[in-house]
Amino acid sequence: MFVNTVDQPAPARYQPSLLASGTAEVPSRLGPVERIELGRGAWVDWAPEWLPGSDDWFESMAATLPWVEAERPMYERMVKVPRLICSFDDLHDQRIPLDLLRLRPVLEAAYGRSLPRIGANWYRSGRDSVAFHADKVPMPGDALIAIAAVGERRPFVLRPRRGSGSSNNPAHRIMFGRGDLLVMGGTTQAHWEHAVPKIAGPNTRISLMFRG
């Protein structure tokens, strides 16, 4: 995959929410969550509107994260990845916004796991997407991936992986954004895959990701 740094884009226009208004804050704890058991040791935790002031979070992350436009080979040619991305392999990277760093220990304390990898995806409109996949993690049978989404809500879809033995389980479609938190744990990356499909409309959303 090849990447090109893009000029810092202006924050996208989107429909703000009264519930997402206010000053961006870092939650002091995880708070109440709903656990969705997927079977065979896979699970998802769901905490709606976890990030206070998520509209401010969106504006800040859109303006300050070092977004890049990636390309990858497909069908014997290079194609653009349909979203902007950024990732940090070093927690001492000076480009990581301080508030983003402050989210990490809250999640680590809640789950008792180290989350040293931070990244983000910006789905600039309904045309941006990510196809079904399982994240590449060192231990797919025991992985933790926490995602906070700011901006407008868009579908986040989970379905069993073919040949995983979970094919009898139903797919899950979650409307995700506005400061919601979604945590995939256990064997989810071994037996399930997830996607952000294209949709009609201008919906723009940024996903902030913390991985083990």
Closest to 143 in 3D by CA, of 104, 175, 119, 117: 117
The residue range of the domain holding 172 is 2-6+30-211
Distance between CA atoms of residues 84 and 80, nearest Å: 10
Distance between CA atoms of residues 148 and 136, nearest Å: 19
What is the mean predicted confidence (pLDDT) over 73-97? Answer: 90
Q: Give me Rg for the CA atoms of the chain.
A: 17
- Tokens coding 14: 């989107």
In-domain check, residue 75? yes
What is the mean predicted confidence (pLDDT) over 35-56? Answer: 97
Indicate which CATH number applies to the domain containing 171.
2.60.120.590
- What rounded mean pLDDT belongs to the chain? 91
| Confidence band for 166, pLDDT divided at 50, 70 and 90 | low
Q: What is the pLDDT of residue 11?
A: 46
In-domain check, residue 166? yes
Sequential DSSP letters for 74-139? ETTEEEEEEEEEEEES-TT-TTS-HHHHHHHHHHHHHHT----EEEEEEE-STT--EEEE----S-
- Tokens coding 75: 């069908």
Q: 168: part of which helix (H) or strand (E)? A: none
| Backbone dihedral angles phi then psi of residue 52, each to the nearest 5 degrees | -65, 140
Please determine, for residue 58, whether its predicted confidence score (pLDDT) is greater than 90. Answer: yes
Taking CA atoms, 90 is separated from 8, 122, 194, 208, in Å, by 21, 20, 26, 16
Q: What is the pLDDT of residue 77?
A: 79
Domain count, the chain: 1
In-domain check, residue 15? no
- Tokens coding 21: 């208004």
Q: What is the pLDDT of residue 5?
A: 66
3-state helix, strand and coil shares in percent for the chain, rounded to the nearest 5? 15, 40, 45
| Confidence band for 65, pLDDT divided at 50, 70 and 90 | very high
| Confidence band for 17, pLDDT divided at 50, 70 and 90 | low
What is the edge-to-edge ordering of all strands in the sheet holding 192-196? 130-133, 192-196, 154-160, 172-176
In-domain check, residue 13? no
Please determine, for residue 121, whether its predicted confidence score (pLDDT) is greater than 80. Answer: yes
Please determine, for residue 48, whether its predicted confidence score (pLDDT) is greater than 60. Answer: yes
In-domain check, residue 22? no
In-domain check, residue 11? no
* Model confidence, pTM: 0.90
| Residue 97, burial from CB neighbour count under 10 angstroms (0-12, 13-18, 19+) | middle
In-domain check, residue 53? yes
In-domain check, residue 67? yes
Question: What residue has token string 């990447």?
Answer: 3
